[in-house]
Each structure stands twice: as structure tokens, then as C-alpha cells.
Amino acid sequence: MTTGETKTPVETATSRGAMSTATPVQVPEENTPEPPKAEAEHGRVGAGVFDPKQLWKSLPDACRKLDPRVMVKSPVMFVVEIGSVLTTAMAIARPSDWFGWAITAWLWLTVVFANLAEAVAEGRGKAQADTLRKAKTDTVARRLNGDAEEQVPGTELRIGDLVVCEAGDIIPGDGDVVEGVASVDESAITGESAPVIRESGGDRCAVTGGTKVLSDRIVIKITTKPGETFIDRMINLVEGAARQKTPNEIALNILLASLTIVFLLAVVTLQPFAIYAKAEQSMIVLVALLVCLIPTTIGALLSAIGIAGMDRLVQRNVLAMSGRAVEAAGDVSTLLLDKTGTITYGNRQAAEFVPVRGATAAEVADAAQLSSLADETPEGRSVVVLAKEKFGLRERHEGELAHAEWVPFTAQTRMSGVDIEQDAVARKVRKGATGSVVAWVKERGGSVPDDAQRLTDEISQAGGTPLLVAVEDAHGARVLGVIHLKDVVKHGMRERFDELRRMGIKTVMITGDNPLTARAIAEEAGVDDFLAEATPEDKMALIKREQAGGKLVAMTGDGTNDAPALAQADVGVAMNTGTSAAKEAGNMVDLDSNPTKLIEIVEIGKQLLITRGALTTFSIANDVAKYFAIIPAMFAVAYPGLNKLNIMALHSPQSAILSAIIFNALIIIALVPLALRGVQYRPMSADKMLRRNLAIYGVGGLIAPFIGIKLIDLLITLIPGIG
């Protein structure tokens, strides 16, 4: 994977990080150490909250969905609706038959419950959409026409228009800053209140319609048509209006439809057999049998599962532009992870004080700390922190030391230090780049021991950066030791990558570092592979290579030059801080711009598929018990021997059939929280996962209805007039 020849890192994560530290306003970006989320959530997909009140609130929506034109999209539930209409007609024809009315009522409830599941799932996105709509108030744009400015409604902007925004203006549409720099409040979209910097050129030029300029003046070139802006798409997405069935959902629907047809045949052909057996069945009983057999549980919950999957992403501030991408996330077998911000904290930190012969580590630490007090770079701060952690050296403040002359770090000297006089002894300490410190020591007539060279070489070879520490005192000038700076891998990443490996996912670290450094960090982090000195072309080639082997690839990116790779990847997550080209190319946008989230996205994709499979298995397994309830109820009169199949000892034929129908309806409502939340998911091997889910949803699906139907039957018999 390491490319032998040297390639110019056109744009690497590190160079981006360095550039942005210069910006005055605090920007939430990959350079700031992330709170170690990996530990907090540790690969678990958290549960979405489900409030039973939502059921009640969504009831009107559920009833509206009874429209056959809507129902026909779910073939299984459409059959139930037709059945309900039939039994209603039968019940009206024989109004005195309580059984017919009871079955009819519960059949309608089955349909309503199914719609309710979908409505609740959709309802959870609606609240989010309302907030977004507020941001999308009708704005007036200041369009540039030559040099003149004209006021036009935001909806009339076309691609290529130039608009001006000043402090306090709402940005009228998506676009790129072509002139100026401004701080922008994007909280309407990201929920993050800290303002971000947007400037012309580079990777921070994209602005989103509906966000607010807080300072300065910028000129924006509009890049999207009205009605297709980011915020419009977000509203559509979270509301589920733009929801299309995903490929796997379509496939599952085909299977469910064919099972429905099989059971329809089994029930329709049963009547001639029954007549021969002198046990002709009423239409109501046949419809009841059919509804019990067809996979209503999964049929009812299928679309809710899909919507909830998208919703779980939205809750994590990730917008999937298509459900297909969420599904693909579950299939991903190669993850391309940017080193900086994802695997490491992104800046080099002091990791060790190594003394030369004749000195001790404590001495090195003391001198290093002293010489770093005037160094405000992150590297300098990390030396002070390490000295305190390892040697208990309290941070000394500049005023504390008398007669101290501080030498701050500059790019020219590449050294920092201090000259102090303590107890009438002059002492000068320095730390800095190897060459500078060696020159400083030699200038003062000191010597550089051989092992100093050896130590610095070793550290360089291990991918670290060495800083020399030197001192000049009564004993003359000499090198004390070396500070080992290195890129620090985030806590818990190794465990996370181990988990991914168990799930069959290969991780590839992408970095602009040289192969040596990259290898060291790759080994420490435990990734499977790395791509060093990576250019966008390298990334693209890597993705294509993996895909040619039949693998699905996921990656994150934010730069314009990431766009082709983002488009090529099966799951391309664009950072919201990125350019509009990147956002356009990816099929997901992470509003938090947190590259670690890629791992969670994969887990959510898997969880979505598992939930579908588990509920399908459960639904089919349920049928066994329903047969044991209904078949004896239908035919024990003609063939009393069949009563032996009534192993649940249900009270009467009517109570048996009714119990099965009630169970069938109630199980839908009972499983709504599971469908919305998703089944519990832990990273483990496919074998273990299958064993576990088969035990819970397969075997559980066989047993649960026996208990459920029996209990409902016991309750029914308590109703006067039936028991």
C-alpha cells in the first residue's frame, strides 16, 4: 500500500490542520482533540427514545394512510385491508354475529397499527423538519448586477448569481464564497452554536442557505437551484417525503409478496377441501386464517424500520442523501480513515524524555520543561504536560523565576528556552530542532555526544520527531537528552479496529506522512493497512482497486480534491465544514464534521439490516403457533381427532381464532419500539451474530405466540357471553 516514490502531498490532513490554527475564531475542526467518543460509546449504537405518546399523536396520520392508493405500496398490508373490507361486508350482512364484528374490528386495527408504526417513524423526523423550516424563512437576497446591487427574493436566485451578505444577513442560498471572509452562525443546521469561518478560496468557502453572517462582508456565488438547496433536501429527508425503497427493501418486499401469494393459495384452495370434509368455512374465518398466515408483522414494520434507520443517522447529525447509502454502509468491507482527527489527535505531542549517557531522565524533563515554558505551540505545551505527568514537575510560571530571560520559540531559531540565574549560578537551557540545538551547543564550545545522534535517528525511524534538550552551566554546554514527539493515537482506537476486524471490515489509514511515520502510527493504532503520502489520485486508485475485488468502500472527506473519491466510494461521508463540491459528491453529510463517525455509520447500516432480518424471521416463525390455534378450530367439528392439535387448549373455536387475530395485531404494536430503536447490535463475527439472532427471533418467534395466544384466550373467556 505504501507508495515507494515520493509524491507531493498536494493537500494532507496535517497541512490543513496547520493552516487553520492561524484563523482567529475557534473553529470546530479535526485539529482540536476530540473528546474520546470512542470510549464513551464504544461501538454501540445507542437507542433512540420511544415515547408511547407518539402512538396517540400519530393516530390521525395512521388513519389517513388507510387510503388504498397508499396501502398498495405495502402488498402484505394491502391484502389485510382488502380482507378487512370483506369481513366488514360479511358482518354487516349478519349484524347479530358478535364473532364477525370482533374479527372485523381487529383486522382493521391490524391495518391501523401497521400505519401507526410508519406514522410514528415519520413523525419523529417532522419535529426536526419544523426547526429547519424556521431557518428557511423567506430571505431577501442582495444580488449583484454588474456593480449595482438589487433586492430579489431568495427563491429567484439562479445558479451562478452573485449575492452580497453582510453582518446580520441570512445567507439566501447555497453557494461558495468568492470574495471576503466572514464568521457565520450555522447553528440552524448543525446545532453547533460556535461560529465558523468562511472565506473565499480553499476548502472553507462553502456556505449554506439559511445560515447567518455574524461579521464582515462576503460575496457568494450561488451553486444550487431554489428548492434543491441543502436545507430543502434536509427537510425532505427527515420528513421521509423523498424516501425511496432501498434495493434490499425491494427484494424483501418481493419475498413477502410471494409468501403472501402462497398463503393466499393455501387459504383459497382450502374451501373446496373443507366442503368435501363437510366443514365449509365462513368467509370471515378464511380471511382470519389468511391474515394470520401472511407475514403481517414484518409487512407492517418494514417501512418504519427503514425510516427509523435514517432517523438514527439524523440523531447523530448525519444526513444520508439516500437510503441506499445506509444499506451500503452495512455492507462496507473497507474503511478509509484519515489519520488526523480520526485515528490521532492530529498534533505531535511529547511522549518520552530520553537522556544521553551521563544524564538522567529527570534532568532532561526538568530542562525540557524550563525551556518549553516560553513555547506556546501545542508541542511546547505537551512537553510541560508530560513533565508534570511523568515526573511531577509543577509548571513554573514566568514571573516565578527571578532574573529569567525567556527565549520564545520562533520559526527562524527553531528553539525556545530560558536564561536564568539561580543562587548566583547562570544557567541557560534550550530545546528545539536537532540542527539548531547542535549549532547552539557547538557555538558555546560544548560537545555533542555520539548517542545523541543515535537517539534522534531512532526516534525519526520510529516515525517520531526528536527535539534536543541542551544546557549551559558551570560544567559547560552539553546536550542532556532528547524529547520524543509523536502523533498520539486516540484512546480506544485499537480496540475499535479489533472489533471492526471481527466484523470483517478492513481499515486503511490515509495520511500525508512519509511511509516511515505512517507505518509507526499504523502499527500503534492497529489498522490493517495504510496509504502514506496519499494524494487524491492515490485514494481514488485505492478505492477502485478495492471495488474491483468486489468490496464496498467507505470514506470521509472534505476537500474539493476529495470529491472524485467521495463520489467513487460506496459510502462517501462529506464533512459539513467541507466544500460544496465535496458535499455534492458524497452520499452522506456529517454535520458535526467528525470523521470517527464513519464507524458509527457502518454500525447503523448493519443494525438496520439485522432488524429487518430479525423481524422477518420472527414473523414467519409465528405462523406455526397460529396454525395450532386455527386449524383445530376450523375442522375439529368435522374430524374430532384434530382436536389433539389444540395443544394450547384454547377455549372454543371462536376464541381460538379471535385470540390468534388479536395476537397478530398486538404484536405489531409491541414491536414498534424495537423497529424504531433497531435490534441490539454488538460488533461480533457473523457466526455468533447469526446464532444469537436465530435463538432470539427464530426460536423466540416459535414460542412467543403460543404463550401470547393462550393468554389472550384466557382473557377473552372472561368476557361475559363468550366464556
Partner 1 sequence: MSPILADVLQVTALIVALALVYRPLGDYMAAVFTSKKHLRVERWIYKSIGANPDAEMRWTAYLRGVLAFSAVSVLFLYLLQRVQNHLPLSLGFAAVSPAQAFNTAMSFVTNTNWQSYSGETTMSHVTQTAGLAVQNFVSAAVGIAVAIALVRGFARSRTGDLGNFWADLVRCVVRILLPISFVAAIVLVACGAIQDFGTWHNISTLAGGQQAMPVGGVASQEAIKELGTNGGGFFNANSAHPFENPNAFTNLFEIFLILAIPFSLTRTFGKMVGSIKQGYAILAAMGIIWLVFVIFMSWSEFAHPGAAMHAAGGAMEGKEQRFGVGASSLFATSTTLTSTGAVDSFHSSFTAYGGGIALLGMMLGEIAPGGTGSGLYGMLIMAIIAVFIAGLMVGRTPEYLGKKISGREIKFAACYILITPALALIFTAIAMALPTPIHSAANPGPHGFSEVLYAYTSAANNNGSAFAGLNANTDWYNISIGICVALGRFLPMVFVLALAGSLGEQRPIPASAGTLRTEKPLFAGLLVGTVIIVTGLTYFPALALGPLAEGLSS
Q: In the window 640-699, what residues touch partner 1 (CB under 8 A)?
A: 640-642, 644-645, 681, 685-687, 689-691, 693-694, 697-698
- Answer for the pair 334, 506: CB distance below 8 angstroms, yes or no: yes
- Which of 87, 248, 535, 576 is in the footprint of partner 1 by CB under 8 A? 248
Q: How many CB atoms are closer than 10 A to CB 570?
A: 22
**Dist CA 463 CA 489 (whole Å):** 13
**Residue 244 or 410: which CB sits closer to partner 1?**
244
Stretch that binds partner 1, among 232-240, 252-260, 468-476, 529-537 (CB under 8 A): 252-260
Q: Is 338 a catalytic residue?
A: yes
Burial of 382 (0-12, 13-18, 19+ CB in 10 A): buried
**Dist CA 323 CA 525 (whole Å):** 32
Q: Which of residues 397-456 bind partner 1 (CB under 8 A)?
A: none
Least distance (Å) between residue 449 CB and partner 1: 50
Residue 610 interacts with partner 1 (CB under 8 A): yes or no: yes
Backbone angles phi, psi at 22, to 5 degrees: -75, -20
Residue 262 interacts with partner 1 (CB under 8 A): yes or no: yes
Stretch that binds partner 1, among 417-425, 510-518, 582-590, 606-614 (CB under 8 A): 606-614
**Residue 220 or 609: which CB sits closer to partner 1?**
609
Backbone angles phi, psi at 474, to 5 degrees: -60, -30
**Dist CA 521 CA 523 (whole Å):** 5
Residue 393 interacts with partner 1 (CB under 8 A): yes or no: no
Q: Which of residues 333-372 bind partner 1 (CB under 8 A)?
A: 333
The closest of 554, 587, 584, 562 to 329, measured between CA atoms, is 554
Residue 64 interacts with partner 1 (CB under 8 A): yes or no: no
Residue 10 interacts with partner 1 (CB under 8 A): yes or no: no
**Dist CA 420 CA 3 (whole Å):** 48
**Residue 702 or 722: which CB sits closer to partner 1?**
702
- Answer for the pair 607, 681: CB distance below 8 angstroms, yes or no: yes
Q: Which of residues 694-723 bind partner 1 (CB under 8 A)?
A: 694, 697-698
**Residue 230 or 635: which CB sits closer to partner 1?**
635
Least distance (Å) between residue 301 CB and partner 1: 13
222 in helix, strand or coil?
A: strand
Least distance (Å) between residue 135 CB and partner 1: 35
Least distance (Å) between residue 528 CB and partner 1: 11
Stretch that binds partner 1, among 35-43, 417-425, 621-629, 647-655 (CB under 8 A): 621-629
Least distance (Å) between residue 704 CB and partner 1: 15
- Answer for the pair 266, 639: CB distance below 8 angstroms, yes or no: no
Dihedral, CA of residue 670, residue 671, residue 672 and residue 673, to nearest 10: 90
Question: CA-CA distances (angstroms) from residue 126 to 71, 246, 671, 711?
Answer: 21, 21, 22, 37
What's the per-residue H, E or C state across 309-357? Answer: HHHHHHHCCEEECCHHHHHHHHHCCEEEEEHHHHHEEEEEEEEEEEECC
Which residue type, as a one-letter code, is found at position 321?
Answer: M
Least distance (Å) between residue 338 CB and partner 1: 23
**Dist CA 234 CA 620 (whole Å):** 36
Q: Which of residues 463-502 bind partner 1 (CB under 8 A)?
A: 501-502
**Residue 242 or 279: which CB sits closer to partner 1?**
279
Q: How many CB atoms are closer than 10 A to CB 452?
A: 26
- Which of 92, 261, 703, 711 is in the footprint of partner 1 by CB under 8 A? 261
- Which of 252, 291, 304, 407 is in the footprint of partner 1 by CB under 8 A? 252
The closest of 637, 566, 531 to 277, measured between CA atoms, is 637
Q: Which of residues 288-307 bind partner 1 (CB under 8 A)?
A: 289, 293
**Residue 9 or 605: which CB sits closer to partner 1?**
605
Angle, CA of 599, 605 and 610, to the nearest 5°? 125
Tell me, by CB under 8 A, how many residues bind partner 1.
Answer: 76
**Residue 289 or 566: which CB sits closer to partner 1?**
289
Least distance (Å) between residue 584 CB and partner 1: 26
- Which of 230, 635, 663, 706 is in the footprint of partner 1 by CB under 8 A? 635
Q: Is 330 left (phi over 0), alpha (psi -120 to 50) or beta?
A: alpha
Q: Which of residues 548-587 bind partner 1 (CB under 8 A)?
A: 549-551
**Residue 63 or 694: which CB sits closer to partner 1?**
694
Q: Which of residues 515-554 bind partner 1 (CB under 8 A)?
A: 549-551
Residue 613 interacts with partner 1 (CB under 8 A): yes or no: yes
Least distance (Å) between residue 264 CB and partner 1: 10
- Which of 13, 609, 650, 672 is in the footprint of partner 1 by CB under 8 A? 609
**Dist CA 8 CA 308 (whole Å):** 44
- Which of 218, 503, 573, 661 is in the footprint of partner 1 by CB under 8 A? 503
- Which of 263, 497, 530, 706 is in the footprint of partner 1 by CB under 8 A? 263
Least distance (Å) between residue 165 CB and partner 1: 44
**Residue 309 or 346: which CB sits closer to partner 1?**
309
Contacts 24+ apart (CB under 8 A), 424-430: 425/473, 425/474, 426/473, 427/471, 427/472, 427/473, 428/471, 428/472, 428/473, 429/367, 429/370, 429/371, 429/469, 429/470, 429/471, 429/472, 430/371, 430/469, 430/470, 430/471
Residue 274 interacts with partner 1 (CB under 8 A): yes or no: yes
Residue 87 interacts with partner 1 (CB under 8 A): yes or no: no
Q: Determine which one of 161, 176, 232, 338 is catalytic.
A: 338
- Which of 25, 167, 250, 711 is in the footprint of partner 1 by CB under 8 A? 250
- Answer for the pair 406, 374: CB distance below 8 angstroms, yes or no: yes
Residue 46 interacts with partner 1 (CB under 8 A): yes or no: no
Buried b (16+ CB within 10 A) or exposed e, 586-611: bbbbbbbbbbbbbbbbbbbbbbbbbb
Least distance (Å) between residue 500 CB and partner 1: 9
Which residue type, as a one-letter code, is found at position 18?
Answer: A
- The residues near 250 (Cβ < 8 Å, ≥ 6 apart) are none
**Residue 182 or 337: which CB sits closer to partner 1?**
337
**Residue 358 or 504: which CB sits closer to partner 1?**
504
First-residue to last-residue Cα distance in the chain: 75
- The residues near 487 (Cβ < 8 Å, ≥ 6 apart) are 339, 344, 345, 346, 347, 348, 349, 463, 513, 517, 521
Burial of 678 (0-12, 13-18, 19+ CB in 10 A): buried
**Residue 549 or 721: which CB sits closer to partner 1?**
549
- Which of 154, 330, 346, 380 is in the footprint of partner 1 by CB under 8 A? 330
Least distance (Å) between residue 623 CB and partner 1: 5
Least distance (Å) between residue 241 CB and partner 1: 23
Stretch that binds partner 1, among 222-230, 307-315, 394-402, 608-616 (CB under 8 A): 608-616
Strands 405-407 and 506-510: unpaired
Residues tagged active-site: 338
